[in-house]
Homo-oligomer: A and B are copies of this chain.
Amino acid sequence: MIIDCHGHYTTTPPGVEEWRNTQKAAVAANPAFVGEKGQVRVGDDEIRESLESAQLAFQRERGTDLTIFSPRASWMAHHVGNQHTSKFWSQHQNELIRRVCDLYPENFAPVCQLPQSPGAPIDESVRELERCVSEMGFVGCNVNPDPSGGFWDGPPLWDQHWRPLWEKMIELDVPGMIHVSAADNENFHTTGSHYLGADTTAFMQAMSSGFLSDFPGLRLIIPHGGGAVPYHWGRFKGIAADQGWDFDSLMDHIFFDTCVYHQAGIDLLVRVVPVDNILFASEMVGAVRGINPDTGAYYDDTRVYIEGADLSDVQRKAIYEENARRVYPRLEETG
């Protein structure tokens, strides 16, 4: 069985964007706008149609089985609006993911976005996580380390700000994927530099602070192959050694996905990162949608690279399935 731990609902029916655009127009006119949750008008047939030709078709073509599925990351846009609007938007997006998983329980397992908002405490996110996991059977969450959208003016992950969230994740036994949203800063390209920079930044925040050792059982997935981290494995190990920081114990908490879209990158990832810390993922349908001329397959058909890597069957099975089951124990109940 192949579990893809990183998929977003990037192909939502038009009713989702319509609802959000109405909300965005309202907060643009009045930043303190609250509004109401209201309704997102999307039919089950529309959901089926939006997936059958995309994520489900790719699952079949590529021979993957289950996608751990969350709302479109670039649309979380925590920097847009306020705590209230972020809450309503997150609730809708998470309920939509629940509907997807109800329609295709064999194909998708639900992960939620959190109603973070710049300057707001994390409490509302803790409540939404509790609701999603306890009431709706979610198996994990996405945590945005920079809800400002590329200005990085909020508290780092080691700050007390985050503690209630980490504690709730441990209590519920769900991991978090560290994943920023769209860049609102013209210096950054969302999927090209902002995502990768944030991945590296999050790892370095964990390494330099050692905060994870205060939270036994806390598990974080750093997506996009860990940003720049595996490529600079020696740099990070060397800095840790110079500073007396505990590099190895990070591996009790941090996992990297395989969203690296060429063979040489995957070869490096599996060469340096312990195999137990690698989770298969493709992020399809996501940042890159074309065909890789080197393989003739889609760039984001990461199974091709994992098959091509120097791995034993035992190692491949760990990356494809067993590690995900260990990191997302609630998969057992749903999947």
Contacts and interface: CB of A to CB of B under 8 A. Distances in A.
Interface in A21-63: none
A265 to B, nearest CB: 5
B208 A232 contact: no
B234 A231 contact: no
B187 A193 contact: no
A136 interface: no
A8 interface: no
A156 interface: yes
A224 interface: yes
Contact of A292 (B230, B234, B265, B272): B234
A227 interface: yes
B188 A152 contact: yes
A262 B233 contact: yes
A299 interface: yes
Contacts of A213: none
Number of copies: 2
Contacts of A290: 238, 241-242
A238 B188 contact: no
Interface string A115-131: 00000000000000000
Contact of A201 (B188, B232, B234, B294): B188
A317 interface: no
A201 B208 contact: no
19 contacts: A145-B187, A151-B153, A152-B185, A154-B187, A156-B187, A188-B204, A191-B235, A191-B239, A192-B207, A192-B235, A196-B200, A228-B231, A233-B262, A234-B262, A234-B294, A235-B288, A237-B292, A242-B289, A264-B268
B234 A299 contact: yes
A-B pairs with lowest CB-CB distance, top 4: A234-B262, A234-B261, A238-B288, A231-B231
Contacts of A185: 152-153
A176 interface: no
Contact of A197 (B201, B207, B238, B289): B201
A235 B207 contact: no
Interface in A183-239: 185-189, 191-193, 196-197, 200-201, 203-205, 207-208, 224-225, 227-228, 230-239
A221 B203 CA distance: 25
A287 interface: yes
A257 interface: no
B228 A200 contact: yes
A153 B186 CA distance: 9
A314 to B, nearest CB: 21
Nearest to A289: B242
Contact of A232 (B152, B205, B261, B292): B261
A101 B139 CA distance: 60
A95 interface: no
Contact of A264 (B201, B228, B271): B271
A262 B284 CA distance: 31
Nearest to A146: B187
Interface in A295-317: 299-300
Contacts of A265: 231-234, 268
B264 A233 contact: yes
